């Protein structure tokens, strides 16, 4: 039997729109499973619910209904202290908005989860990693002084050093030049070869075509699942959605 790292069943997510008791349903019954070492991509138009799906399936935002299981655990049933440890040690997130602490330096942001878990910080290794992803700024500079692309690399490095088993990435290469994007993709691919499961939202069809499975999302519903997708197939699946 192949181990399921992620298993979500029939997830729906509604949010209050602020107007009286009106609710907006963003996700309508999405089911999906992913295996050890699998590289999954989620593609779809803006506003189709990709970020919401990633937040729900990663334990960050509780779905209105449906079930979520990551590494055999329902993250929404964990007590707060266990939930914090789970997020710090088992799952990694690369957010669209980076989620860095502006008052800390790039280096301190990267090692924060390690320090909180009382793990050893290998400074030379982290400097080497930053070099390998073409991070040209000083690691001791505050993130508030960095460009969008540099911040993105700090957010990526933070996940790469964390040794987690599942990585959720929301357009991780969106703010990067194409060379850096390819390097990051290569590092994520290397992690999947070591058994890490990566779920990546992307607008980049070429990149999605190099993942193991692509999922297209439209209006909060899962539309197509393409195994070993190629760019043409993906392009057609997404163009069909435009009609
Ligand atoms: N907290 C929220 N309150 C109201 N609407 C939201 C909220 N979060 C997302 N939405 C809406 O839900 C839809 C899907 O959003 P999102 O998941 O961010 O899409 P994507 O990542 O595919 O662009 C969008 O129309 C967005 O405006
Ligand atoms: Mg989004």
The pLDDT assigned to 50 comes to: 96
Q: Which of 18, 19, 48, 49 to mutate to test the pocket of ligand 1 (most atoms within 8 A of CB)?
A: 49
Task: Determine the distance separating the centroid of ligand 2 and the alpha carbon of 170, expressed in angstroms.
Answer: 7
Q: How far apart are CA 147 and CA 158, in angstroms?
A: 17
Task: Determine the distance separating the centroid of ligand 2 and the alpha carbon of 51, expressed in angstroms.
Answer: 4
Superfamily of structural domain 4-242:
P-loop containing nucleotide triphosphate hydrolases (3.40.50.300)
Residues 6 or more apart whose CB falls under 8 angstroms from that of 50 comprise 42, 43, 44, 170, 201, 217
The pairing of strands 23-35 and 4-16 is antiparallel
Mean pLDDT lowest for which of 13-17, 18-22, 52-56, 188-192? 18-22
Neighbours of 38 (CB within 10 A): 20
Q: How far apart are CA 40 and CA 77, in angstroms?
A: 25
User: For residue range 49-91, what is the model confidence (pLDDT) as tens digits?
Assistant: 999 999 999 999 999 999 999 999 999 999 999 998 898 889 9
Q: Which residues make beta-bridge pairs with 224?
A: 216
Whether 22 shows a pLDDT value over 90: the answer reads no
Task: Determine the distance separating the centroid of ligand 2 and the alpha carbon of 154, expressed in angstroms.
Answer: 19
Q: Which ligand 1 atom sits nearest the alpha carbon of residue 44? A: 22
Name which residue sits closest to atom 1 of ligand 1, judged by CA.
15
Helix (H, G, I), strand (E, B), or coil: what is residue 181? Answer: helix
Q: Which two tokens stand for residue 10?
A: 């029939």
Whether 43 shows a pLDDT value over 70: the answer reads yes
Residues 6 or more apart whose CB falls under 8 angstroms from that of 20 comprise none
Residues 6 or more apart whose CB falls under 8 angstroms from that of 1 comprise none
The pLDDT assigned to 239 comes to: 86
Q: How far apart are CA 10 and CA 78, in angstroms?
A: 20
Q: Which ligand 1 atom sits nearest the alpha carbon of residue 52? A: 17
Give percent above pLDDT 90 in the chain: 79
The pairing of strands 4-16 and 65-70 is antiparallel
Pocket of ligand 1 (CB under 6 A): 15, 17, 24, 26, 44, 46-52
Q: How far apart are CA 169 and CA 175, in angstroms?
A: 13
What is the pLDDT of the chain when averaged over all its residues? 92
Confidence of residue 21 (pLDDT cuts 50, 70, 90): confident
Q: Which ligand 1 atom sits nearest the alpha carbon of residue 17? A: 4
Ligand nearest to the CA of residue 217, numbered in listed order: 1
The pLDDT assigned to 242 comes to: 58
Task: Please report how the helices 123-132 and 148-160 are oriented relative to each other, as an axis angle in degrees rounded to 10.
Answer: 130
Domains of the chain, residue spans: 4-242
The pLDDT assigned to 20 comes to: 75
Whether 1 shows a pLDDT value over 60: the answer reads no
Task: Determine the distance separating the centroid of ligand 1 and the alpha carbon of 49, expressed in angstroms.
Answer: 6
The pLDDT assigned to 174 comes to: 87
User: For residue range 129-142, what is the model confidence (pLDDT) as tens digits?
Assistant: 999 999 999 999 99
Task: Determine the distance separating the centroid of ligand 2 and the alpha carbon of 73, expressed in angstroms.
Answer: 25
Sheet of strand 65-70, all strands in order from the earlier edge strand to the far edge: 23-35, 4-16, 65-70
Q: Which two tokens stand for residue 4?
A: 């399921």
């Amino acid at each position: 039997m192949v181990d399921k790292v992620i298993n979500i069943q029939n997830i729906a997510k509604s949010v209050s729109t602020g107007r009286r008791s009106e609710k907006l349903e963003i996700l309508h019954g999405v089911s999906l499973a992913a295996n050890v070492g699998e590289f999954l991509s989620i593609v779809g138009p803006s506003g189709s619910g990709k970020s919401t799906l990633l937040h729900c399936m990663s334990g960050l935002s509780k779905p209105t209904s449906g079930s979520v299981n990551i590494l055999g655990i329902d993250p929404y049933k964990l007590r707060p202290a266990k939930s914090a440890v789970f997020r710090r040690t088992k799952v990694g997130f690369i957010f669209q908005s980076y989620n860095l602490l502006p008052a800390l330096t790039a280096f301190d942001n990267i090692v924060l989860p390690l320090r909180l878990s009382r793990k050893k910080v290998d400074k030379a290794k982290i400097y080497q990693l930053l070099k390998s992803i073409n991070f040209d700024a000083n690691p001791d500079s505050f993130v508030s002084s960095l460009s969008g692309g540099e911040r993105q690399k700090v957010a990526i490095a933070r996940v790469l050093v964390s040794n987690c088993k599942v990585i959720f990435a929301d357009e991780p290469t969106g703010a990067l030049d194409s060379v850096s994007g390819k390097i990051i993709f290569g590092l994520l691919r290397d992690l999947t070869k070591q058994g890490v499961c990566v779920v990546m939202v992307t607008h980049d069809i070429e990149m999605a075509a190099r993942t193991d499975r692509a999922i297209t999302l439209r209006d909060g519903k899962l539309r197509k699942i393409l195994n070993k997708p190629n760019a043409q197939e993906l392009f057609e699946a997404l163009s069909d959605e435009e009609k």
